[in-house]
Amino acid sequence: MTELSAKEEKILWYIYAMKHVSRKSLLELSHYKAPTLYRVIEALVQNGYAEVSGSEEYGSKGRPGELLSMNSRHAYVFSICILRETFYCAVVDFSNDILTMEEHRLIPGMTPEQLADIARQDFSEACERLGLAEDLFLEIGLSAVGPLDYANGQMLRPLYFLAGEWKNIPIVKVLQTRFNRKVYLDCNARAALMGNYLPNYFERHQNVVYVTVGNGIGSGLVINRKLMLNHNIILDGFAHMTIDMDGRKCTCGEYGCVEAYVSVPAILAQCVEEMRLGIDSSMKSHMDHLTLQDLQRAVRTKDALAVIQINKAANIFAKCILNYLRMVELEAVVLGGSLIEAVPEFYDRVEQYARERNSSVMFYRSTEKEKNILRGIASEIVMRYIFGE
């Protein structure tokens, strides 16, 4: 790797984030003078980091202007995403396009070593299929369900995890042994944030928060177009924001956390509690094994209990978003996760409640969860590579 100057790092990151970008856009973003920018671009192209990928329809003086993109063949990332019931493996190129992607179901009793063996096999088969040498790959990008101990590279007993009780599992070490290369670990929420932010919001918004709501809550934050990392914190700060010191007990052991009111298990538990107290509902026949799908059907048929509980949870969640906005000047909120996907009424209520009180912030719904996580963790690896971290 040719060592990059600070200016080259900055321009290369802009090219990476924007996929196909004109010199004019780079001038506006970087505030560099034209001769300086053109020298930087020439060096990046000559050293194989970037390339001219096309032209605009209209350029200055009626001539089409060049579009620049990453040299997708410069390097590759193998991304692994571990969710609660499945895991995914993908080859992602230097321009952040997914070339291969494999889905695997977690099996009760599956060990970390078995998962690593499957991932290693996917990697070998993908390299053979694509005709890629393994030394073209940067670090392995690992995104996993939390809680995570980043310092020790461990998964700390994720809840509702289909493989079973993975308590204090040194997943980074297990994968490093199988792949014989460095493994970089981050949470699914931050990876999903980057997977959403770069292709969709990089040009429009500098400050964005991403929150995923499902069996748990996770969050990620971009400030001044830079991902905020805090690997000293094990529990997610948004999920475990205290909203009632004498409130419900959270899975973390504390009381009154947001997650104890807004996560899927918390909402289902509240519905069951109300039904046990005599509140009528179409969900009553499923009371002993209530699922998100049961709740989804009930909301769609305007079941009173389901609608009330979804609105209550959405109002609480929206208030937490508003608290966040009072602390950090954000332009956009991106929401994802199983609850957002299954119950659009929850998203709609959150957006309505929050925008009635802060009309300046934009709300967006995340899409392509797994692909965004895989691309997102790959972008973190490329970011480390570009900036020499």
Global confidence as pTM: 0.92
pLDDT of residue 63: 58
Integer Cα distance of 327 and 80 in angstroms: 33
Same domain, 162 and 255: no
Within a domain: 1: no
pLDDT of residue 316: 96
pLDDT of residue 339: 96
Any idea which residue has 């990332």 for tokens? 77
Same domain, 235 and 146: no
Same domain, 362 and 229: yes
C-alpha angle 367-370-372 in degrees, rounded to nearest 5: 60
Same domain, 305 and 343: yes
pLDDT of residue 329: 87
Same domain, 359 and 382: no
Domain extent for 272: 202-366
Same domain, 169 and 96: yes
Say which CATH number the domain at 58 has.
1.10.10.10
Kindly report the length of the chain: 389
Q: Are 280 and 327 in contact (CB under 8 A)?
A: no
Same domain, 226 and 317: yes
Same domain, 290 and 379: no
- For strand 362-365 and strand 332-336, is the pairing parallel, antiparallel, or unpaired? parallel
Same domain, 318 and 229: yes
Whether the upstream peptide bond of residue 112 has omega within 30° of 0, thus cis, is no
Say which CATH number the domain at 102 has.
3.30.420.40
pLDDT of residue 62: 55
Query: Kind and range of the H or E element at 118?
Result: helix 112-130
Same domain, 342 and 322: yes
pLDDT of residue 107: 96
Same domain, 297 and 338: yes
Same domain, 229 and 352: yes
Give every residue of the chain whose pLDDT is below 50, as ranges.
59
Q: Which of 70, 95, 119 is the last residue of a domain?
A: 70
